[in-house]
A and B are shown apart, each in its own frame.
Chain A
Amino acid sequence: MSNGSYRNEILLLTHGGWGETLVDKLTMIIGQIKGVSEIALNPSDSPEDFLLKVEEKIKTMPANSLVITDIVGGTTSNMALMLSKKYDIHILSGLSSMMLIEAVMRQNQPYTEDSVNEIKEAAIMNCQQLKLPAEDQAK
Chain B
Amino acid sequence: MAEIEMVRVDFRLIHGQVITKWIRQTFANRIIIIDDNLANDEFMKSIYTMAAPSNIAVNVYTVESAINEWKEDKLGKGKLFILFKDVDTAFKTIQGGIEIKDLQIGGLGSGPGRKSVFGPISLNEEDAEQLRELEESNNCRVYLHQVPDEPKMEFKKALDKFYSLKK
A: residues with CB less than 8 A from B are 15, 43-47, 49, 70-78, 81-82, 85
Q: Residue B97 at the A interface, CB < 8 A?
A: no
CB closest chain-A residue, reference B51: A73
In the complex the two chains form, what is the Cα distance from A47 to B108 in whole Å? 11
Given A45, A76, A78, A85, which contacts B109 in the complex, CB threshold below 8 Å? A45
> Range of interface residues on chain B?
20 to 34
In the complex, how many residue pairs between chain A and chain B have their CB atoms under 8 Å apart? 52
Beyond A78-B48, A81-B50, A82-B47, whether A44 also contacts B109 by CB under 8 A is yes
* Contacting pair A81 B47 (CB below 8 A): yes
In the complex the two chains form, what is the Cα distance from A7 to B131 in whole Å? 52
Residue-wise, chain B 15-45 has the 8 Å CB interface mask toward A (1 for contact) of 1100110000000000000000000000110
* Contacting pair A78 B14 (CB below 8 A): yes
Distance (whole angstroms) from the CB of A27 to the closest CB of chain B: 27
B: residues with CB less than 8 A from A are 11-16, 19-20, 43-44, 47-48, 50-53, 109-111, 116, 119-120, 122
Distance (whole angstroms) from the CB of A75 to the closest CB of chain B: 4
Given B16, B53, B110, B120, which contacts A15 in the complex, CB threshold below 8 Å? B16
Beyond A81-B47, A82-B47, whether A74 also contacts B119 by CB under 8 A is no
16 cross-chain CB contacts under 8 A: A43-B119, A46-B111, A47-B12, A47-B15, A71-B19, A72-B51, A73-B16, A73-B50, A73-B51, A73-B52, A74-B19, A74-B51, A75-B16, A77-B51, A78-B15, A82-B43
* Contacting pair A71 B16 (CB below 8 A): yes
Q: Which residues of A contact B44 (CB under 8 A)?
A: 82
Q: Which residues of A contact B47 (CB under 8 A)?
A: 78, 81-82
* Contacting pair A43 B51 (CB below 8 A): no
Q: Which residues of B contact A78 (CB under 8 A)?
A: 14-15, 47-48, 50-51
In the complex the two chains form, what is the Cα distance from A33 to B14 in whole Å? 33
CB closest chain-A residue, reference B53: A73
Beyond A73-B16, A78-B14, A85-B43, whether A49 also contacts B109 by CB under 8 A is yes
In the complex the two chains form, what is the Cα distance from A71 to B11 in whole Å? 18
